[in-house]
Structure 1
Amino acid sequence: MKRTYFITGFPGFISSKLIQKLLMEDPNAHFELLVYKDQYYKATIEMDKLVKDSRYTIIKGDITLPDLGVDEETKNRLYNKVTHVFHLAAIYDLAVPEDLAYKVNVTGTEHVLQFVRQIYSLERFVYFSTAFVSGDRAGEILETELDCGQSFKNHYEATKYEAELRVQRHISELPTTIIRPGIVMGDSKTGETAKFDGPYFVMRFLDKFARIPIPYIGKGAALINLVPIDFVVNATVFLANDQRASGSVYHLTDPNPLTARKAYRLICETLLGKKPSYTLPTSIVYKTLSVPSFRKWVQVERETLDYFQLKAAYNCDQACEHLRGSGIECPNLADYLQQEVTYYKEHRHEHEKLIQVN
């Protein structure tokens, strides 16, 4: 049977890379892309770059609306045609307001689940969660764990947790694979990324103080879990086609993460050619970033600091076991950081890649 992939979150960076990989693996596939109306033009341009024929349909829709905001004729066509669903649409901003995060991440996922349950020939539903549904938990976090009474550092984490709870309620009735990535960086070979967020906030911070002695921020004993996008995409496509992955949850995380201090030093050395030389308490940096004028000047979200203090260690044994023999594994940060930094240096002044900090 010819595969038809229904994908939300396009033209986002991960969904774009996912489509590229799926095209390589399955040249005869058709793509049904649910795109928010404001992104329709951009989506059309992006797909014209990826596909030179009519193997895709762009559908104006909205996951926050019942029936995904599509008409009856389109719904019935999709119910009869779609074989695989990849749900990536979400608000990923760590500083997102609660109401917007809930509307998109939770209500939106509920609407996608209602849609998925109506598909006649569903082979796999792949839901993109995040490793950080663990919230403020400490110690080893297993792929089989979710609700452990944790609290959350921000509305992004809280709503992604609520959304995954809803997906897991249907995991016995739908052929579901849940993907929990760590902090996603650019491509390990080219450094390409769409937005300079996450660890790139560290690079933006270091840029501002490049000419003076650079401090460490806090003790940095926590493990920082960075993964390149090509690893995440390659692993996701492989698992989406693996029967063992139906009904399973995977931490697509680094099995050998660096401490935050080592990762910070490595970024500093690669970007500036020098090591940090003294330590500032995290509390001082956090208070400083609480001042809006300073935060806007340095262009760093204060929520980023929370991920340099995590006390969690993400067990990815099941992911490693199911990927064994595929040739897909997470590279060490030291092996690809130069590509990430080079790309950042070449594109750091491009407005569309900068997350605006308020």
Structure 2
Amino acid sequence: MGRVLITGSAGLLGGEVTGRMKDAGWEVIGLVNRNPDIRRNDNAPVEGIATVRGNITQERFGLSQEEWDGLSSHIDFIVHSAAVTDFTEETDLHRAVNVEGTKNVLELTKKAGAKLLHISTAYVAGDREGEILETEFDEGQGFTNGYEATKFRAEKLVRESDVRWAIARPGIVLGDHPNGRTRSFDTIYPILKVFAEGWVKTMPAAAHATLDLVPIDYVCEGIVQMAGRFDEAEGKVFHLVSGRPTPLRAFPETLLKFDGLSSPAWVDPESFDIGSLPPSERRFFQRGAEVYARYFTRNPQFDDRAYRAFAGEGCPPTNEEWWERIVSYAIAAGFIRARKKKGAA
């Protein structure tokens, strides 16, 4: 296959991609920073690969010139998955990792004469709604948070570079399709926990709003396919998305199927008044739920026809059965805990 460097290899997505690329026959080098432990989504360690400790926010990843030269001479492919994914306002860390880090990855790609598969996000579309094509890359939209804004700027750097590139844009990554299993409860899991445990009982949301939620196994297999068939993917952008966005009603409908879990009441954003919430609920809303509320007002429809034509198939059903597996796994893992009996006042 080739010799590949995977940035963010100790992360959730990076760990699973690392394991799958090793299984596919790649000679893998995992770039790690503070956490050297590379694990797949089922928490199994990825063994039999080389690792390099470095920091993509620094020039030469903080390596010596000799180490940098040695690394560049040993790779012919890079999967850039390292990113700060926090759904907060833009921070220095967002900029350092997502933007400056991508600049440094591009420097290594050029020096090595390597090919680059850049992991972006479908949500570089920002606050746009309606059909969003894989071929589109607008610059007039607003952004919901620092993650979207800095990933947009990172993708722009890649597209304008003179290296050989392809771009994967996943939706919001959750647990695997067969079991709902995840090694890391991030992205929308925290708001799911807040809803399920009854900390926030009222949430502003538009009736038409959706989220594009996608299983991690589907996304990682797509990344491996793009790397293995890079000549076909080169210069293209593929949406690794559900193809069928999840309506927000899936939250209450799914949570209420489980004894002991709560579910929020959706209210029109125009009539929502945070001051009307009880003090404890208001604190939880301001500390966490408010960050996600902006996602609950729009309905982007990410087109994935180009990727389906490339792969020969699309995402498996992200339906109510998958959602039940997602919640069941979060309960079994102890991430979500029941706070009251179903039907209690």
TM-score by length of 2: 0.85
Q: How far off its partner does 1:95 sit?
A: 1.3
Per-residue CA deviation, residues 200-246 of structure 1 (Å, 9 max, x unaligned), is 23431232229x9x767534312221000000001111122222211
Q: Which residues of 2 match residues 128-277 of structure 1 at below 5 A?
A: 128-170=119-161, 173-209=162-198, 217-242=204-229, 243-261=231-249, 263-272=250-259
Counterpart code for 2:96: K
The answer (yes or no) to whether the contact 1:323–1:329 under 8 Å persists in 2 is no
Which has the larger helix fraction?
Answer: 1
- Give the 3-state SS of the residue equivalent to 2:167 in structure 1: strand
Q: 1:19, CA displacement in angstroms?
A: 1.3
Matched-pair contact (CA < 8 Å) for 2:87–2:187:
no
Give, in whole Å, the separation in 2 of the partners of 1:179 and 1:290: 40
CA contact (8 A) 1:215 1:280 kept: yes
Work out which of the residue numbers 44, 49, 70 in structure 1 matches 2:63. 70
Is 2:85–2:147's contact at 8 Å kept on the other side of the alignment? Answer: yes
Select 1:81's aligned residue among 74, 81, 85.
74
After alignment, is 313-322 or 291-300 more displaced? Answer: 291-300
Q: Secondary structure at the match of 1:162?
A: helix
Aligned to 2:339: none
Aligned residues: 334
Q: CA deviation at 1:308?
A: 1.9
Aligned pairs (5 A) from 1:102-117: 102-117=95-110
Aligned residue for 2:293? 305
The residue identity in structure 1 corresponding to 2:307 is A
Q: Is 1:344 matched up with 2:327?
A: no
Partner of 2:340 in structure 1?
none
| Pair 297,98 (structure 1): closer, same or farther in 2 beyond 3 Å | closer
Find the residue that maps to 1:126 and give its secondary structure: strand
AA aligned to 2:70 is R
SS of residue paired to 2:69: helix
The answer to whether 1:319 aligns with 2:307 is: yes
Change (3 A) 1:277 1:64: closer
Identity among equivalent pairs (%)? 27
Name the structure 2 match of 1:355: none
Counterpart residue type for residue 249 of structure 1: V
Q: Is the 8 A contact 1:234 1:328 kept in 2?
A: no
> Which structure 2 residue ranges, 5 or more long, are not aligned?
337-345
Deviations 1:113-133 (A, max 9, x none): 01100114x2x3110111111
Shift of 1:272: 4.6
Quote the RMSD (CA, aligned, Å).
Answer: 3.2
- What residue number does 1:331 align with? 317
The separation in 2 between residues aligned to 1:48 and 1:85, in whole angstroms, is 23
Compute the displacement of 1:311 (Å).
3.2
CA distance, structure 2, for counterparts of residue 315 and residue 76 of structure 1: 41
Q: What are the Cα deviations for residues 55-109 of structure 1, in whole angstroms up to 9, with x where unaligned?
A: x222121111111111222222222221220111111001154222111110110
Contact 2:12 2:183 in 1 (8 A): yes
Question: What is the letter of the counterpart of residue 136 of structure 2?
Answer: E
